[in-house]
Amino acid sequence: MNSLTIRLPDEIDKRLNQLSKRTHRTKTFYVREAILSYLEDLEDTYDALKALKEPGQNYSIAEVVRDLNLTEEELKDIGMGD
């Protein structure tokens, strides 16, 4: 495992210390969780942007309904039926 040194503004460090004491978890735990969460969100964003740039197949609503064998009841459940 690697280590990383970061500088935090006093207010963030204070909040992190308070949370750590209140929950009996380490500051390292919360920093690691925050980084993981941010990375996952960022990766999802880049994946979505990449998908938008790539040409893909378009489907009509009728094709989707047919291919998924949706019933009138199911269409009503998702707000698409009469």
- Residue ranges covered by each domain of the chain: 10-78
What's the rounded Cα separation, in Å, for the pair 51 and 26? 38
Backbone angles phi, psi at 4, to 5 degrees: -145, 135
The whole-angstrom separation of Cα 40 and Cα 58 is 27
Q: What pLDDT is recorded for position 4? A: 94
On the question of pLDDT at 81 being above 90, the answer is no
Query: Average pLDDT, stretch 14-43?
Result: 98
Rounded distance between C-alpha atoms, residue 27 and residue 1, angstroms:
17
